[in-house]
Amino acid sequence: MDADPTADMQRKAADIQRLAVEAQGEAVSEDGSVRVVTGAAGDLRELDLRLSAFQLSGVELGEAIVETIRAAEHKVQAELSAEMGRIMGLPVSENVFGGGLPRVDPETEA
């Protein structure tokens, strides 16, 4: 630990800020037709659709995209939380960031 606790905290904050900007999560749908990369803020950085994705109905493709985005967001949040915990020396819950796409219940949405 640094002799100056303020400098140490500033360094840790800068490390966490850098991680939050650079962190990304990647996920592939169960059937491999959709691959996404998201940032820690829930931003969609990449969306790749394989030829097999175009065999799906519009609803199926939409569901596959949303589910894959959620998986990537979960992955990046878990990884960022683990890194924050390592930097701070404290356990950090993997859902501390929340955010992402809200769940939509297809039964109630018309």
pLDDT tier at 109 (50, 70, 90 boundaries)?
A: low
- Whether residue 40 is contained in a domain is answered as yes
Q: What is the CATH number of the domain that holds 76?
A: 3.30.1310.10
Are 77 and 17 in contact by the 8 Å Cβ rule? The answer is: no
Tally of structural domains, the chain: 1
45 occurs within a structural domain: yes
Q: Please indicate, yes or no, if residue 107 is contained in any of the structural domains.
A: no
pLDDT of residue 36 exceeding 90, the answer is: yes
Cβ distance 61 to 36 under 8 Å?
A: no
Give residue 33's domain range.
Answer: 16-88
Strands (E), 1-110: 24-28, 34-39, 44-49
- pLDDT greater at residue 33 or residue 80: 33
Residue 11 lies in a domain: no
